[in-house]
A and B are shown apart, each in its own frame.
Chain A
Amino acid sequence: MHRSPRERLTALRWQTAAGRDKLNRIMDETGLRAPLDVTVGRLSVGERQRIEILKALYRDVRILVLDEPTAVCDDDLFATLRLAIAEGLSIIFISHKLHEVMAIADRVVVLRRGKMAGGVDTKDTDKNALAVMMMGTEATPPEVSPAKPGAPLLALSKVTTPDVGSVPGLKSVSLALKAGQIVGLAGVSGNGQAAMADVVGGLLNPNDGQVVLGSETVQKWTPRIAVQSGIARIPEDRQKTGTIADFDLIENAILERYKSPAFSKGGWMNWRKSRAFADGIIDKYDVRCPGSDTPIRLLSGGNMQKLILGRVLEADPQIILANQPVRGLDIGAVNYVHSQLLAARKRGASVLLISEDLDEIIRLSDVIHVIADGRLSPEFKRGEMTPAQLGLWMAGQGFEMDVAHAS
């Protein structure tokens, strides 16, 4: 195996120059860029993923296994992979996204419940045929009916938040979430989505500007107040912030509302009611698990997400913050989550959908905003913009014109 200078562990000094040259060359060749002098812990998930791939390429691998690589990656990756394939690299590409598989793979193998459900060459098949192979039956995405928007339930008015490192905060963002409407927030990862989610979810108080709930400007804004005000929060990272891995399903189900009279009284927990609540969610939302006292870390991502959905939807929320709600889920779970969001919209809830998957945004949203570098685009109605036009906004074009327009 080829040894690069950086791997000499016994050297007294880091021999970084040669390694850096090689990495720079790989980055130039592939267009896959990542900062080299920042601690990985401070990078975004997307950047970390790029680092993983760069690491593999750096070591001159011949077979590259990519397990759900595009959950957070952009399209650059595909171009890179094609270059690498052309140079003789073999790639095993594991993904739940059919369009990716169709775009990148030469041959597809479908696994269902641990068994091989079939293998075909991509040129002989299409997305629908693959979906049938995956699900065992035909997978039908939920129907989206036209929305009947009502009064604004939550509005941000000229909200500004501080930048965090290289990630921009919100820059004088105004946004209205109306009853019975899904608002999609499109954008490339790391352009202020996190700040937006934190402001709506109660974790971040704006430096400047107001959060208006119904007709009242909120003074004190915390996660607990947000939950009590009827905001359901589906977090971006269900393992890191959405659940506590070593807590069982009961403890996780009541995580946001353990203080409510339904689950505790005078500082003492009511585990009987909590268990009943968790069991109810498991039944109603079809959470596959050995029982409500299982640690949640043993569940699959989809089942974890179903528990989170149940946890927030059972409170009949008026406002739903769905941050990457289907990231890493299989197509069955994706359709399930989407149908739940649409059902909530139907009964008059307002949904803010934050996603890096433009298809998802376009399909579900009644109104789309694009976020780029912390700035928010004007609202685009369903069907008003093509994906390509949205892509231009995502790349930061159009904002200057818009400012000029407004002034």
Chain B
Amino acid sequence: MRLEPIKNPTLARKLVPPAIALTTTIVIASLLATVAGADSFSVIGLILKGAFGSKFAILETLNRATPLIFTGLAVAVAFRAKFWNIGAEAQLYAGALMTVMLGTGVLPWPSFAILPLIIIASILAGAIVLLVPALLKTRLGVDEVVTTLLFNFIFLLFISMLLEGVLKDPMGMGWPKSARLIPEARLPRIVDGLRLHWGFGLAIFSAICIWIIQTRSTLGYEMRAVGLNKDAAAFAGIPVNVVIVKTALLSGGLAALAGFSEVAGLKGSLTLDLSPGFGYTGIIVAMLALLHPLGVIVAALFVAGIFVGADSMSRAADVPTYLADIMLATALLLMVLAIMLTRFRVVRD
């Protein structure tokens, strides 16, 4: 058996495999739920209800999707130029760190300037964190997969050290947690009284900006050229290393916005459990989106929906919460397979 690329996939070819993948996921999840003692038919309903069934559920899904859009974009941008940034987690924490450092009232700035300043500082922090692996790659040829991955652990321990030390909230009753942001440093809610904050708006805006940059700007053209064929790009005079460094700065900045938005929009302070692996899940989101910036929004909503829906289902049906993880893993594996099948057909030799 081998795979054969399809030149002009039909609409059915594009839609059917993902639909089958989704259905299969739900069937598998239902079977597992039955094994765990729930009614298999109610499971599907409970998941959908948990993810999209009420205003609260929808807002929860959107909130959960917000950091995934940022990290998904960060990965999509980097992977497009074949710069393998596995360290969105570290850059996320860099953004979060900058947010609590500047947002806890240390700056004598007018209130309207605080948020923009924090945003810019967060982006810079994330960019600098990724600049180190980018320079190591372009100057010394060090593999960025290794450096960015290991940076995650280094940075998390660094944050841990700060939270046990200088950043520890004196009012925190001994918990490793930073002081709370002042109200001026908090991201306002989009609608009063609803939990959805402007971080989601910023995420959508970022996705559109990245899409425009990739399709319309010379930098986007360069990034795509370097990603598709580095030799031809270099021959044509595109400064490959400069483009890789610029890509890294952009990618790091985007991942940092995830940290900023989680702290300033949702949590209000920095703890070590700020991110349940948003940086890693961002890789999955980006792959599901085929690295398309607008696709990242859809993929992030899909992943967030499964997270939230399966979580809520497992509580409602009284089955272990691990079912949510299994379901997400199944969905992602099948979806990646399905996406491949939209572009290739299996031929029997």
User: Which residues from chain B contact A226 at a C-beta distance below 8 Å?
Assistant: 237
Provide the bound-state CA to CA distance between A177 and B219, in Å: 35
Within B220-252, the residues touching A (CB, 8 Å) are 220-221, 224-225, 228-229, 231-237
CB distance from A324 to the nearest CB of B (A): 14
Once the chains bind, are B225 and A255 in contact (CB under 8 Å)? yes
Chain B residue at minimal CB-CB distance from A251 = B221
On whether A267 and B228 interact (CB within 8 A), knowing A223-B234, A223-B237, the answer reads no
User: Which residues from chain B contact A269 at a C-beta distance below 8 Å?
Assistant: 216-218, 220-221
Once the chains bind, are B231 and A241 in contact (CB under 8 Å)? yes
User: Which residues from chain B contact A243 at a C-beta distance below 8 Å?
Assistant: 229, 232
Provide the bound-state CA to CA distance between A353 and B236, in Å: 19
Within A261-302, the residues touching B (CB, 8 Å) are 264, 267-269, 271
Once the chains bind, are A255 and B218 in contact (CB under 8 Å)? no
On whether A267 and B218 interact (CB within 8 A), knowing A244-B228, A245-B228, the answer reads yes
On whether A255 and B234 interact (CB within 8 A), knowing A267-B218, A268-B216, the answer reads no
CB distance from A274 to the nearest CB of B (A): 10
Provide the bound-state CA to CA distance between A113 and B67, in Å: 55
On whether A223 and B236 interact (CB within 8 A), knowing A241-B231, A244-B228, the answer reads yes
| Other-chain contact of A247, B217, B228, B231 (Cβ < 8 Å) | B228
Once the chains bind, are B218 and A244 in contact (CB under 8 Å)? no
Provide the bound-state CA to CA distance between A177 and B220, in Å: 37
Chain A residue at minimal CB-CB distance from B219 = A267
CB distance from B82 to the nearest CB of A (A): 12
Provide the bound-state CA to CA distance between A240 and B235, in Å: 10
On whether A244 and B232 interact (CB within 8 A), knowing A202-B237, A224-B237, A255-B225, the answer reads yes
On whether A245 and B216 interact (CB within 8 A), knowing A203-B234, A223-B234, the answer reads no
CB distance from A272 to the nearest CB of B (A): 12
Provide the bound-state CA to CA distance between A244 and B224, in Å: 10
Chain A residue at minimal CB-CB distance from B222 = A258
Once the chains bind, are A268 and B217 in contact (CB under 8 Å)? yes
| Other-chain contact of B237, A222, A267, A268 (Cβ < 8 Å) | A222
On whether A223 and B235 interact (CB within 8 A), knowing A258-B218, A269-B217, the answer reads yes
Cβ of A325 within 8 Å of any chain B Cβ, yes or no, is no
Cβ of A256 within 8 Å of any chain B Cβ, yes or no, is yes
Once the chains bind, are B221 and A242 in contact (CB under 8 Å)? no
User: Which residues from chain A contact B218 at a C-beta distance below 8 Å?
Assistant: 258-259, 264, 267-269
Cβ of A52 within 8 Å of any chain B Cβ, yes or no, is no
Cβ of A246 within 8 Å of any chain B Cβ, yes or no, is yes
Cβ of A235 within 8 Å of any chain B Cβ, yes or no, is yes
A interface bracket (residues with beta carbon within 8 Å of B): 20 to 34
On whether A240 and B237 interact (CB within 8 A), knowing A258-B218, A258-B221, A269-B221, the answer reads no
Chain B residue at minimal CB-CB distance from A242 = B232
User: Which residues from chain B contact A251 at a C-beta distance below 8 Å?
Assistant: 221, 225
On whether A203 and B217 interact (CB within 8 A), knowing A245-B228, A255-B225, the answer reads no
User: Which residues from chain A contact B217 at a C-beta distance below 8 Å?
Assistant: 267-269
Q: Digitize B193-226: 1 where CB-to-A-CB distance is under 8 Å, 0 elsewhere.
A: 0000000000000000000000011111100110
User: Which residues from chain A contact B232 at a C-beta distance below 8 Å?
Assistant: 240-244, 255
Cβ of A34 within 8 Å of any chain B Cβ, yes or no, is no
User: Which residues from chain B contact A244 at a C-beta distance below 8 Å?
Assistant: 225, 228-229, 232-233
Chain B residue at minimal CB-CB distance from A235 = B235
Cβ of A227 within 8 Å of any chain B Cβ, yes or no, is yes
Chain B residue at minimal CB-CB distance from A265 = B218
User: Which residues from chain B contact A224 at a C-beta distance below 8 Å?
Assistant: 237
User: Which residues from chain A contact B220 at a C-beta distance below 8 Å?
Assistant: 269
Once the chains bind, are B236 and A256 in contact (CB under 8 Å)? yes
User: Which residues from chain A contact B228 at a C-beta distance below 8 Å?
Assistant: 244-247
Chain B residue at minimal CB-CB distance from A225 = B237
Chain B residue at minimal CB-CB distance from A238 = B232
Once the chains bind, are A240 and B231 in contact (CB under 8 Å)? yes
Provide the bound-state CA to CA distance between A222 and B216, in Å: 25
User: Which residues from chain B contact A245 at a C-beta distance below 8 Å?
Assistant: 228-229
Provide the bound-state CA to CA distance between A164 and B234, in Å: 18
Q: Residue among B229, B233, B234, B237 with the most chain A CB within 10 A?
A: B237
| Other-chain contact of B236, A255, A267, A268 (Cβ < 8 Å) | A255
Provide the bound-state CA to CA distance between A267 and B221, in Å: 10
Within B26-82, the residues touching A (CB, 8 Å) are none
Q: Digitize A214-251: 1 where CB-to-B-CB distance is under 8 Å, 0 elsewhere.
A: 00000000111011000001010000111111110001
Chain A residue at minimal CB-CB distance from B231 = A241
Once the chains bind, are A242 and B237 in contact (CB under 8 Å)? no
CB distance from A103 to the nearest CB of B (A): 35
Provide the bound-state CA to CA distance between A367 and B295, in Å: 57
User: Which residues from chain A contact B221 at a C-beta distance below 8 Å?
Assistant: 251, 258, 269
User: Which residues from chain B contact A259 at a C-beta distance below 8 Å?
Assistant: 218
Q: Digitize A161-203: 1 where CB-to-B-CB distance is under 8 Å, 0 elsewhere.
A: 0000000000000000000000000000000000000000111
Provide the bound-state CA to CA distance between A58 and B94, in Å: 58
User: Which residues from chain A contact B219 at a C-beta distance below 8 Å?
Assistant: 267
User: Which residues from chain A contact B236 at a C-beta distance below 8 Å?
Assistant: 223, 255-256
CB distance from B227 to the nearest CB of A (A): 9
CB distance from B221 to the nearest CB of A (A): 6
User: Which residues from chain A contact B234 at a C-beta distance below 8 Å?
Assistant: 203, 223, 241
Once the chains bind, are A241 and B237 in contact (CB under 8 Å)? no
Provide the bound-state CA to CA distance between A241 and B216, in Å: 24
* CB-based closest 10 A-B pairs: A223-B237, A224-B237, A241-B235, A255-B236, A244-B229, A256-B236, A244-B232, A244-B228, A264-B218, A241-B231
Chain B interface residues toward A at CB < 8 A: 216-221, 224-225, 228-229, 231-237
Apart from A241-B234, A243-B229, list 17 A-B contacts with CB within 8 A.
A203-B234, A223-B235, A223-B237, A241-B231, A242-B235, A243-B232, A244-B232, A244-B233, A247-B224, A255-B236, A256-B236, A267-B217, A268-B216, A269-B216, A269-B220, A269-B221, A271-B216
Chain A interface residues toward B at CB < 8 A: 201-203, 222-224, 226-227, 233, 235, 240-247, 251, 255-256, 258-259, 264, 267-269, 271
Q: List 24 contacting pairs A-B, 8 Å CB cutoff, sorted by A.
A: A202-B237, A203-B235, A222-B237, A223-B236, A240-B232, A241-B232, A241-B234, A242-B235, A244-B225, A245-B228, A247-B224, A247-B228, A251-B221, A255-B233, A255-B236, A256-B236, A256-B237, A258-B218, A259-B218, A267-B217, A269-B218, A269-B220, A269-B221, A271-B216
